[in-house]
Amino acid sequence: MFTLPKDLEMQEIIMSIELGLIFSIVAVGIYLTFKTINFADMTCDGSFVLGAAVSSVYIKMGASPFIATFLALVFGGLAGLATGILNVKFKIKDLMCGIIVAFILYSINLRIMNAPNITFIEEVTIFSGRNTLTSVIIIVFVLNLALILILFSVFGLRLRAIGYNKQFAAISGINVKLMTIIGLMLSNAMIALGGSLFSQYQGFCDVSQGFGTLVIGLASVVIGEKMFAFKKEPLIILSCIFGSILYRIFMNIALHSDSIGIKTQDLNLITGLMIIAVMIVKKGGNNALATQ
C-alpha cells in the first residue's frame, strides 16, 4: 500500500493545495485559449510575470493590494489584446504572435520592475491578516463562477462557437476577429491574476518566474481532463482546478521521495513524465472500453 513520505507534513500538503488553487486560475486561462477558442497562445509566460510585476511594484509603493491585483488583471488583458491584434490585424500565426508578445514582455517586465527581482515580504498583500487557504478558495470560487456565467451567456456561446468552427461562426454573423481578441484578453487577464496572487503568496517577484507557466498550466488541464473526463463546460473548468491541485500534490510527494533519488532539478522531468503517463493510462482505458 502506498503511503506518503514521513517528512511530508500536513502544512506542506496545505501549501500544495494553496499553490494548486492559485495556478488553477492560470490553468483555466490556458484552457480558454487552447480549448475554448482553439488558439495556441504562447503569451502566458510573459503575462504571468507581467501580472506579478505590476502588482509587486504597486504594493512596494504602498498601494492597496486589491488595487494592485486589479491592475495586474488589466495589464494582463492588454497583453492578450496585443497578441490578438497581431493575429487578426496583421495576420501573424497564433503561435508566432504569442511568442513575439511574450518575448517583448520580458523587457517590459524588467522596465516595470526596474530590477531582476523584487522582495516585499514585509508589505501588506491581499493575504495579510487572513487565512491564505480560505482567501484563495473564495477568489477561485468567485472568479470561476463569473467565468461560467460568462460562458453560458449569449456572449459566451459566441466565444465558444469560434473554437468549434470559425467559418460556421462567421457565417452565423459572429465577429470572429473581435471574439478572438476578447478571448485572448480574458485568458491573459486570468493568467496575470494568477501571477499576481503567486507573487503576493511568496512575497517575491522574479522576472524569470514565468518560465514553464505554459507547461504547468497544460499539465493541470491534461491531468484534470484525463482523470475526471468531464464533458460539460462548468465541470471541465472544475477539472482544471482539480488537475492543478493534484499536480502540486504529486510534485510535493515526488520531491519528498528521497528513496528514489528525485531532486528539485528533476521537476521538469517529473512533470513531463507525469503528463505522458496520465495520457497513456487514460488512452489505454478508453481503448479497453472500446473493445468491450
* 218-263 pLDDT, tens digit each: 889 988 888 777 777 667 888 999 999 999 988 887 777 655 666 7
Structural domains for the chain: 15-291 (1.10.3470)
- CA gap 49, 77 in Å, rounded: 13
Q: For residue 73, give the C-alpha cell.
A: 488583471
Distant-in-sequence, close-in-space partners of 129: CB < 8 Å, separation ≥ 6 = none
Asked if 177 and 161 touch (Cβ cutoff 8 Å), the reply is no
String of DSSP letters for 54-84: HHHHHHHTT--HHHHHHHHHHHHHHHHHHHH
Burial of 220 (0-12, 13-18, 19+ CB in 10 A): buried
Q: Is 102 exposed, middle or buried (0-12, 13-18, 19+ CB in 10 A)?
A: buried
Question: pLDDT tens for residues 34-91?
Answer: 999 999 999 999 999 999 999 999 999 999 999 999 999 999 999 999 999 999 999 9
